[in-house]
Amino acid sequence: MDYIFIDKTIKTSIYKQIASSISKMIDTGKLTYNDKLPTEKEICEVFGVSQTAVKMAYQQLIDQHKIKRIKGKGTFVTNRETYHQEFPNIYAFEADQENECQDILFDCINDEYMTQRMLKMDKNESFYVIHRLIKSKKNPLVYQHVYLPEKFYPKLKKIYPYKDGLFSLIQETYHHRIHHIQNTFSPALASSAEAQLLNILSGEAIYLIRSQIFDDNQHIIGYIVNYFPGEFSSFEVTVHAKP
């Protein structure tokens, strides 16, 4: 609360001074996403101001999309940009050189039936598992589970990690031609682990987008499960009506 400054000797409204103090700390990065703000009662007690003034200050910051209220939990900073994209182009972030990719898991397994089914692989065939977190301006943009059949990516571990993105790995390093990507979309609620990685609260809405990557021979050469934070992701879907 030491970032709030109120001067009662000037004409500037108390609520504007409170809102300005908090806004300045958010804009300079001293308050960041999900930082919890003091309650209205706490501010009233410390500064001897009316609850109405604090309510007005918080409402102004809410209208500016800088903070949010969560019933029963408090008031939090929410200054994250929203990733907005047309649904067929959801992987546009791969081409953004400013985004940061953090790999957190690499493995090769052959005993996960559901993944083998999505990859249309035979039982006991091996595939690589890569978990990675992609960030935009230090905030998590998407958490990914990437599955690549070993038969299409021999000796992947020897060239891993890849620096230029997943699709560069597929097309330039292994010379697979991507014919099309089949995406499915569903809403879900974040588990505690997913919430921690995406820097959201457990139980908040996320978008679950699964992608099967096909080559010219209709082989599935990759399968990706994307976890997008719902509050900070939006996608456009175009529906074509038949005449």
Please report which residue ranges of 28-144 form alpha helices under DSSP H: 40-47, 51-63, 113-118
Is 242 a member of any domain?
no
Is 147 a member of any domain?
yes
pLDDT at 240: 64
Same domain, 70 and 87: no
What domain count does the chain have? 2
Structure tokens at 105: 């898991």
Is 7 a member of any domain?
no
- DSSP per-residue letters across 1-51: -TT----TTSSS-HHHHHHHHHHHHHHTTSS-TTPEEPPHHHHHHHHT--H
Same domain, 90 and 73: no
d(CA 168, CA 21): 45
- Among 77, 100, 131, where does a domain finish? 77
Q: How far is CA 13 from CA 6, 20, 236, in A?
A: 10, 11, 41
Tell me the pLDDT tens digit for each residue of 44-68.
999 999 999 999 999 999 999 899 9
Is 195 a member of any domain?
yes
pLDDT at 34: 82
pLDDT at 118: 94
Same domain, 143 and 30: no
Domain that holds residue 94: 83-236
Tell me the pLDDT tens digit for each residue of 76-109.
998 788 899 988 889 999 888 888 888 899 999 9
Is 205 a member of any domain?
yes
Mean pLDDT score, 38-42: 94
What 80-83 contacts at long range (C-beta under 8 Å, 24+ apart), as own/partner pairs, is 80/33, 80/139, 80/231, 80/232, 81/136, 81/137, 81/139, 81/232, 82/231, 82/232, 82/233, 82/234, 83/136, 83/141, 83/142, 83/228, 83/232, 83/233, 83/234
d(CA 54, CA 74): 14
Asked if 228 and 214 count as a contact pair (C-beta separation under 8 A), the reply is no
Same domain, 71 and 133: no
pLDDT level of residue 29 (50, 70, 90 thresholds): confident
The answer on pLDDT for 162 being more than 60 is no
Query: The domain spanning residue 177 has which CATH number?
Result: 3.40.1410.10
